[in-house]
A and B are shown apart, each in its own frame.
Chain A
Amino acid sequence: MQNEQTEELRRYAEEAAAKAASGKELYAAKTDVQAKLKAFMSGMRDLPKEERPAFGKTVNELKEKIEALFAAREEELRQKELEARYAAEQVDVTMPGRKRVQGSLHPVTLVKNQLIDIFAGMGFEIFEGPETETEYYNFTALNTPADHPSRDMQDTFYLGGDLLLRTQTSAGQIRVMQNKKPPIKVLSPGRVFRPDDDATHSPMFHQMEGLVVDKGITLCDLKGMLAEFAAKMFTSDTKVRLRPSYFPFTEPSVEVDLSCFVCGGKGCRLCKGTGWIEVLGSGMVNRRVLENCGVDPDEYTGFAFGMGLERIAMLKYGVNNIKNFYDNDVRFLTQFKD
């Protein structure tokens, strides 16, 4: 009799659990079954004392079975619901992502920063001199007196009196040496101005001047440092070639060519078949320039080098027209990432 009832209750529970299609229904079913079970259990009171333990055991087994039954069904339902949710919430992963589109730094800034990184690592400080200068700082102190033909080499925008727009960042050399005693290692980047405006010249462009003054500095040191620069800026096997040149503020003066980093020196369009690319001007600081700045040229020697940042950027990125740098076309500007 009891066994029948037990079996019936178990079957009832089984059916109720299976019929429940959601967590909510399952909960209702469970409550219902538990009520029934409670009622069944209350029958224990009417049993003789000796039968009670056996009944209790049966009921407990039944209770456990029912619990397990509902637990399993609950898990089953949760799994189903989850699957339904997964299916419902599926996204098209090929749709575009959401991002704040970042801007880019100007290629001249990027090149400037790269150069600063390289030379800062060698102990260079950064000094930015004024963009408007006097003739003294831009020319005279740099050993370029008024009648000097090299004043023609770089015509000048004048602002009245002896004021002008600096034609070279070398003007900063003088200000550095007047304010700082050797050892000096300074890098001066900045805007410079010359009245040229054609396919290959811009009336404003950027230079970066480097200056080292200390005891025992030699031409070999200049070559060594520029080799280091070339290796870091371009490729590690870039070679440096010095050849004689002329700048009023250096003696000896050299033009510095780098082995072509496109063809490795075999000759290509970039290097016009020569295997070499003219990159910067350089030399040992002229004694007169040191004297002009109160540095004893018998105690100290030094070297200076100057390069055009647009030129470096053109070489590095393959930009072929200097005008691109000042057109500020967003299609141009947003390409530069490094």
Chain B
Amino acid sequence: MKVPYSWLKDYVDIDCSAQELQDKLFSCGFEVEELLYLGKDVTGVYVGEITDIQKHPDADKLQVCQLYFGEEIGSVQICTAATNVFVGAKVPAALNGATVLHDGEVMKIKSGKLRGVPSDGMMCSGEELGINDDFYPGAEVYGILILDKDTPVGTDVRKVVGLDDYVFDIAVTANRPDCQCVLGIAREVAAVLKKPLKMPSFAYTMSEAKGEERNMKVRVEDTLLCPRYIGHAVTDIKIGQSPAWMRRRLALCGIRSISNIVDITNFVLLEMGQPMHSFDMDQLSGGEIVVRRAADGEKIQTLDEKEFTLTHENLVICDGAKPVALAGIMGGLNSEITENTKRVFFESAKFARDNVRRTSRALGQSSDSSARYERGVDAYTTEFGMARALHLVEELACGKVTNVHIDCNHAETAGKKMTASIAKINSLLGIDVPKDTLVGILRSLFFDVKLDKDGDTMSVIVPPYREDVDGWPDLAEEVIRMYGYDNIAPTFLEKASVTSGGLNEAQKRLNQFKDVLRLQGFSESMSYSFFSPKSFDLFGLPSDAPERRAVKIVNPLGEDLSVLRTFLAPAMLDNIVRNLRRGNENGRLFEVANVYIPEELPLKAQPKEVKTLCLGGWGDCDFFDLKGAIEAIGDAFGVKFSFRRGQKPFLHPGVTAEVVLGTKVVGYLGELDPRLAAEFAVEKKAYLAELDYDACARKFTSGTKYEGIPRFPAVKRDLALLADENVACGDIVDTVRHACRAVKEVTLFDVYRGGQVPAGKKSMAFTLSFEGEPNAEKVLSPETVDGFVRKILGNLKHNLGVEIRM
């Protein structure tokens, strides 16, 4: 919200600098995002009077001018190519060292010579001062800006052309739509500076309507979407230019002057926050205004000549025959004010904020009006906005205000009434704001406060434009933001109960889980919860794959982020691809995040959120590093994962395992399919694993279960076994363990092929570690262990055809 300093001064006698005012506004809840000094780029430019003009001796197009700047600066010689200068003219002249604007950039002026003749500055055009006609009449003239002949010489030109001013760009929070205007901010300024507010004039006189306007009617069909609609007819319109003061104000707020009538509506928008519209009454057919929902397929062309096809969700203002405005957003081209307009029907209305917002979004059409409507315009201001506009019509003498005033009001315009306790307000704040101060603050913000006899209860009438205030805590906020948050003294829950806090078991376990992976060399990654549905095909998932049953985002940022994740591998592969592309040749990553599993599609209820672990590794990392990490998880949480050969469409068929916990498959592990790797230009082998964390965590055991240690050391035996190539290590280990309870560890330490090992066979060397019962009285004898080994070898031979290697 742009608020010119000079404009604010109309309503409040501001006795502090713009910078001080910025701080005051900040402290009471209005952050000034930018404090712009209009003249910051124009320095060292003074008003001079041309006292003499001579032709340049060596250049036909140049003239040598003498300028007088008063006693302090004296006379300066400046050469110019401009042809509109004359003796006696008052002009802005940039002297040596000055800055002006040139093509929008700041340019420094230095003394120099033009074709041999000294020139100690430059006379300026309006453009070089960064102003247009709205700032100063004649600023757009080609050539030098000729100032008013009464302008005193030697004056800093910024003071003359209106550049000695500030514009506050203020961030107004969503709860304060009443401050989306200069007057609204002025109310706050008056309160924070403890100064009276000087209201502008709303006075006007109505004269008897004589023409057809007497029969003008307004009908509001949807009073929910248009709670208040005020129309007023003005005749004898004299379209012309607005006065300089009004044009300047519009210009300061970034609005171009168009004509007096249009300028009045824009001025009221800026000053009062009330969007207004003016219809050329002679273009309205049927002598009526109808506010209704558009018919589906109905069309309108707005002032900016864009055409829109509407639906019943859009509210339109119509005459007897057709839409003439898109309610709250923009008027129609068919009824716009032109230089021939003779009669005007002013509109000041309140439209439902969400409907304006939705229509504006749906059509992609917005305006200063819609921006205000979206945040909320109150029905009270609707009336004052109209009064102000009619006053300005009289002030600018551009029309005759008739007595045709139609007010369709279905809104509450009186201020809310409430009672509030001073003690309660102070108890919420935790400090004691003195009673008089507290009441004084509320009154300075135009709350009507009557203090009851008990000295504590206040009967309060809220200003009608303060729709945000609906309870005593709002009053507490009004008080403290004006009293000052610096007065809030920190305390540490003096009255609160003591509570015991901290992580619960499941939360602690997740932290431990991440630590296990971290210690296995994996770093935690985080990826978006949504991904591209293209991943399903890229990952070769069959059409009935459960991963494809994913929740779609209705309004995604793009197709690539349009589906909630059902598995984490695509994001992990993205990480691997990105890292490799950046030259990170090795890496191990893990992510623990939710996948979203819908009960049914289309979605009827929140999808199930399943915490899932994904591992990714590449470079100096292989299948067994990932497997080791999963085994380490098992070790840490007292469970044993088993692995068996598995298949995944995106993994190498020979290097893929299902991860099993108990009887349940809880995940997979494998090498990225070389076909997919090639597609993603992954030149190293990459490995992926996923585990259903929630399913695993249900089996995790926590805490320590102590077992006594055996009195005697374990006995070790090494066995070199000869097995068929297709016999799995896991099966050998299982067989060994099954055969003998005394086996505590089976460790594979070598696999050998070739040499004396026959083709199609492999030699596998294991260390077996035997332990007696913890309470055994003597060490396992060599004979006992020999017996164990015989049984183990017998089972291996019988079950797997595995023999001892001689």
| Known contacts A241-B485, A244-B477, A102 near B519 by CB under 8 Å | yes
Q: Would B523 and A104 count as touching, CB distance under 8 A?
A: yes
State which size class the interface on A falls in. Answer: 35 or more
Q: How far is the CA of A157 from the CA of B227 in the complex (A)?
A: 31
Q: Would A203 and B523 count as touching, CB distance under 8 A?
A: no
Q: Would A219 and B29 count as touching, CB distance under 8 A?
A: no
Contacts of A318 in B (CB 8 A): none
Contacts of A101 in B (CB 8 A): 521
Contacts of B527 in A (CB 8 A): 326, 328
| Known contacts A130-B606, A214-B497, A220 near B481 by CB under 8 Å | no
Q: Mark A185-222, 1 if CB is under 8 A from B, else 0.
A: 10000010101010000011000000010111111110
Q: Would B481 and A328 count as touching, CB distance under 8 A?
A: no
Q: Does B243 contact A (CB under 8 A)?
A: no
Q: Would B553 and A158 count as touching, CB distance under 8 A?
A: yes
Contact of A157 among B27, B556, B603 (CB under 8 A): B556
Contacts of B29 in A (CB 8 A): 243-246
Q: How far is the CA of A165 from the CA of B563 in the complex (A)?
A: 12
Q: Mark A102-137, 1 if CB is under 8 A from B, else 0.
A: 111110110001001001111111101011111000
Q: Mark B544-571, 1 if CB is under 8 A from A, else 0.
A: 0000000111111100010010000000
Q: Does B498 contact A (CB under 8 A)?
A: yes
Contacts of B496 in A (CB 8 A): 183, 212, 214-217, 221
Q: How far is the CA of A191 from the CA of B605 in the complex (A)?
A: 19
Q: Would A219 and B523 count as touching, CB distance under 8 A?
A: no
Among the stretches A63-71, A75-83, A248-256, the one at the interface with B is: A248-256
Q: Would B495 and A333 count as touching, CB distance under 8 A?
A: no
Q: Does B500 contact A (CB under 8 A)?
A: yes
| Known contacts A102-B519, A103-B521, A157-B555, A109 near B492 by CB under 8 Å | no
Contacts of A134 in B (CB 8 A): 606
| Known contacts A218-B428, A240-B490, A130 near B609 by CB under 8 Å | yes
Q: Mark B144-176, 1 if CB is under 8 A from A, else 0.
A: 000000000000000000000000000001111
Q: Would B490 and A227 count as touching, CB distance under 8 A?
A: yes
Among the stretches B135-143, B260-268, B576-584, B765-773, the one at the interface with A is: B576-584
Contacts of A185 in B (CB 8 A): 499, 501
Q: Does B184 contact A (CB under 8 A)?
A: no
Contacts of B557 in A (CB 8 A): 195, 197, 203
Contacts of A197 in B (CB 8 A): 557
A60: shortest Cβ distance to chain B, in Å?
46
Among the stretches A15-23, A34-42, A144-152, the one at the interface with B is: A144-152
B173: shortest Cβ distance to chain A, in Å?
4
Q: Would A216 and B427 count as touching, CB distance under 8 A?
A: yes
Q: Does B689 contact A (CB under 8 A)?
A: no
Q: How far is the CA of A252 from the CA of B357 in the complex (A)?
A: 27
B530: shortest Cβ distance to chain A, in Å?
8
Contact of B352 among A131, A147, A326 (CB under 8 A): A147
Contacts of B485 in A (CB 8 A): 241-244, 254
Q: Does A325 contact B (CB under 8 A)?
A: yes
Q: Would A224 and B492 count as touching, CB distance under 8 A?
A: yes
Contacts of B582 in A (CB 8 A): 329, 331
Q: Does B602 contact A (CB under 8 A)?
A: yes
Q: How far is the CA of A42 from the CA of B551 in the complex (A)?
A: 106
Q: How far is the CA of A146 from the CA of B352 in the complex (A)?
A: 12
Q: How far is the CA of A246 from the CA of B173 in the complex (A)?
A: 6
Q: Would B430 and A220 count as touching, CB distance under 8 A?
A: yes
Contact of B498 among A123, A148, A223, A246 (CB under 8 A): A123
Most buried by A among B427, B430, B493, B564: B493
Q: Does A59 contact B (CB under 8 A)?
A: no
Q: Does A232 contact B (CB under 8 A)?
A: no
Residues 498 to 537 of chain B near chain A (Cβ within 8 Å): 498-504, 507, 511, 514, 517-530
| Known contacts A103-B524, A157-B555, A330-B579, A225 near B502 by CB under 8 Å | no
Q: Does B240 contact A (CB under 8 A)?
A: no
Contact of B578 among A131, A248, A328 (CB under 8 A): A328
Q: Does A14 contact B (CB under 8 A)?
A: no
Q: Does B474 contact A (CB under 8 A)?
A: yes
Q: Would B430 and A221 count as touching, CB distance under 8 A?
A: yes
Q: Does A169 contact B (CB under 8 A)?
A: no
Nearest neighbor of A153 in chain B, beta-carbon distance? B174
Q: Would B173 and A333 count as touching, CB distance under 8 A?
A: no
Contact of A253 among B27, B477, B491 (CB under 8 A): B477
Q: Would A220 and B431 count as touching, CB distance under 8 A?
A: yes
Q: Would B428 and A203 count as touching, CB distance under 8 A?
A: no
Q: Does B594 contact A (CB under 8 A)?
A: yes
A217: shortest Cβ distance to chain B, in Å?
6
Contacts of B431 in A (CB 8 A): 219-220
Nearest neighbor of A298 in chain B, beta-carbon distance? B424
Q: Would A105 and B514 count as touching, CB distance under 8 A?
A: yes
Q: Mark A85-99, 1 if CB is under 8 A from B, else 0.
A: 000000000000000
Q: Does B596 contact A (CB under 8 A)?
A: yes
Contact of A195 among B471, B504, B555 (CB under 8 A): B555
Contacts of A141 in B (CB 8 A): none
Q: Does B587 contact A (CB under 8 A)?
A: yes
Q: Does B374 contact A (CB under 8 A)?
A: yes
Contacts of A132 in B (CB 8 A): 551, 564, 596, 606-607, 609
Q: Would A333 and B602 count as touching, CB distance under 8 A?
A: no
Q: Does A29 contact B (CB under 8 A)?
A: no
Q: Would A149 and B374 count as touching, CB distance under 8 A?
A: yes
Q: Does B722 contact A (CB under 8 A)?
A: no
Q: How far is the CA of A136 from the CA of B177 in the complex (A)?
A: 25
Contacts of B375 in A (CB 8 A): 149
Q: Does B751 contact A (CB under 8 A)?
A: no
Q: Does B677 contact A (CB under 8 A)?
A: no
Q: Would B518 and A224 count as touching, CB distance under 8 A?
A: no
Contacts of B609 in A (CB 8 A): 130-132
Contacts of A147 in B (CB 8 A): 352-354
Q: Would A219 and B607 count as touching, CB distance under 8 A?
A: no
Contacts of B555 in A (CB 8 A): 157-158, 195
Nearest neighbor of B173 in chain A, beta-carbon distance? A246
Q: Does A46 contact B (CB under 8 A)?
A: no
Please list 16 pairs of residues, one from A and one from B, whose beta carbons are closer than 8 Å in the complex, sorted by A's number.
A101-B521, A106-B526, A120-B502, A120-B503, A124-B501, A126-B502, A147-B352, A149-B375, A150-B175, A159-B554, A161-B604, A215-B496, A217-B493, A241-B485, A326-B526, A331-B582
| Given pairs A195-B557, A328-B589, 19 additional interface contacts (CB within 8 A) | A103-B520, A104-B524, A125-B499, A126-B501, A131-B609, A132-B564, A149-B375, A157-B556, A159-B564, A161-B604, A203-B561, A214-B497, A215-B495, A221-B494, A245-B173, A253-B477, A284-B428, A284-B473, A326-B528
Residue numbers of B with Cβ under 8 A of A are 26-29, 173-177, 352-354, 357, 374-376, 427-431, 471, 473-474, 476-477, 480-481, 485-486, 488-504, 507, 511, 514, 517-530, 551-557, 561, 564, 575, 578-579, 582, 584, 586-590, 594, 596, 602-607, 609
The 8 closest A-B pairs by CB, nearest first: A218-B430, A220-B430, A244-B29, A216-B495, A252-B477, A147-B354, A224-B490, A246-B173
